[in-house]
Chain A
């Protein structure tokens, strides 16, 4: 995974709450068996509306999405993250994210940044006043800035370290292989197994 420190790019205002993963990528695109090439599927239905933000310049090439409350609710589809990433987004800012979406983002190096609702609204106002303005997400200093808006954001040390080092979770877990082996020796005989089939 790519190492992340500071992300700067055109901010895209998505002034909606409860943007669910069915809107981020409709189910028909989940039939693919590849992990890339989902850019065409991102917000596919909303993009058919000429007024949708990504159909306007300078937003079509934006890289920092600024969304309303409860972004990424619903399905566990990691395809939602792949679609945002493949389109070119590198960070999403919102007052609150759905847990599974946030976890999935972390695995793919898509930064999810939680700031209070007034900060999101202030960034929207900056973008409205100056479309094309860049938003900077600084993981090193845990801060977001856009025009006159400057805000810290919380991220735990472990997640920050993992993102900054670009580390892969499976590799990290396999450091504990002997602990897993040891745990399995105590697993009770009555716990379920799928094989042999009964």
Chain B
């Protein structure tokens, strides 16, 4: 069966269409379907044991031409031409280089123009396209769903499975529509939408589902914004998030290095236009969000569902009915060293981190720079700005964003995952508090004992100016 062979006249969702077009074998008697994988992204952390498995079994990589690797999690963001100082990080990077060479896989290494966070690199090369299946040994693979692709994170055993067979055995996912009506106010962004969604449905609310984000507020977003939303679908427990492809998607892709060209482009667009959910198709669940009412958002706790509007206060666990949620909130406030009733905007920070696969694309950097331009970093606060890829970094420098960051008092770094998870030297000190544009506020995520508040680039910028958690509405 090929992609344009719909096979059925039942109204289908976007997710069902992509699934159907990739089903190699239909599972019978409770067996999973076998799903074909169009694009496999690889990085240094979750792949070494998978390549080892191939070697032990004497198996080749089935489709090196559908596989691409980049170095991102361990890479330093300073002095990138020097040898990596941490020997275990260096070994992991060197292992990826050796594996890529042995198995014939394209690799973009530190220093290469296409190096960067794997979820920034795929889209910028035009490899991420509507209607394809994308996997990577990284939970934030959901990012690529912004193009109308079915994209999800996998573990190392599955990485080996895809390398060996270019398929995965999977049970069909349920579908959930997340409809965001209305229009975002100035200062409210994609990040605020997704933080509000997770606060509403919880960290397990999306479990077993593919989320399809739809509605006017989603349609009005750029691809960079849609990627921010799909990126954090995993934080609601969902395997994948998707947005139907539209003219915005096609315009983003046109002319990118790996986008289809000529007659292929026309054929692709014709197919892509068939992908949006059919009228009358049903979802297993639906959540509706009023986009007009959204405000800049921030997390107060240690999971991404523990968030409030910035204008709000630190919640009181005593007000939480569910005993498990209450216990989790008490524990989170103790870790975060916060007192119930404290206005969020009065909380001072030690660091601001602007980066990660959630918010490190050019539009994120532009938004951040637009707020800090001509201002000064609050005394005592450290700021690190880490572009998502070497190419984004160059693009930003061509626009003078590096100068704006440096004149403001921040550090302009090289590309990588950096302080999102602190596998490289970029980490919080114990007890330090950080406003971070990343995706996870877990205990110790950004460094042992570090305290993370998840925010948008605009909130990060306002916070860097004022030194306390701040809304873009608080600065001129």
Contact = CB atoms under 8 A, between A and B. Distances in A.
B207 A98 contact: yes
Interface string A92-105: 00001011100110
Contact of A194 (B62, B65, B95, B331): B65
A104 B204 contact: no
Given A76-B154, A99-B237, 17 more contacts: A16-B327, A18-B303, A28-B422, A78-B157, A96-B204, A98-B237, A104-B156, A108-B157, A173-B167, A173-B169, A174-B165, A176-B24, A180-B36, A187-B2, A187-B36, A190-B264, A194-B64
A45 B169 contact: no
A27 B423 contact: yes
A189 to B, nearest CB: 6
A176 B25 contact: yes
Interface stretch (A6-14, A29-37, A129-137, A142-150): A29-37
A28 B4 CA distance: 45
Given A74-B440, A107-B158, A190-B268, A31 B92 contact: yes
Contacts of B421: 22, 27, 75
B443 A78 contact: no
B106 interface: yes
Given A70-B237, A74-B442, A158 B30 contact: yes
A192 B328 contact: no
Interface in B303-349: 303, 324-325, 327-328, 331
A193 B66 CA distance: 5
B46 A73 contact: no
A192 B155 CA distance: 23
Counting contact residues on chain B (CB < 8 A from A), the size range is 35 or more
Interface string B410-431: 0000000000011100000000
A30 B208 contact: no
Interface of A: 16-18, 20, 22-23, 26-28, 30-35, 45, 68-70, 73-79, 81, 96, 98-100, 103-104, 107-108, 117, 156-158, 169-170, 172-174, 176-177, 179-180, 183-184, 186-195, 197-198
Nearest to A105: B155
Nearest to B59: A170
B444 A22 contact: yes
B24 A180 contact: yes
B469 interface: no
B89 interface: yes
A107 B157 contact: yes
Interface string B14-39: 00000000001101011110101011
A78 B442 contact: no
A188 B3 contact: yes
B137 A76 contact: yes
Given A22-B442, A81-B155, A192-B132, A30 B328 contact: no
Contacts of A32: 88, 92
B444 A45 contact: yes
Interface in B180-238: 203-204, 207-208, 234-235, 237
Contact of B422 (A27, A157, A189): A27
Given A45-B448, A78-B155, A104-B157, A20 B328 contact: no
Nearest to A33: B48
Contacts of B52: 33, 35
Contacts of A191: 38, 129, 132
Contacts of A172: 169
B126 A100 contact: no
B153 interface: yes
B126 to A, nearest CB: 7
Contacts of B248: none
Contacts of B31: 158
A78 B39 contact: no
A184 B246 CA distance: 27
B381 interface: no
Interface string B267-282: 1100100000000000
Contacts of A45: 443-444, 448
Contacts of A183: 1, 24, 36
B68 interface: yes
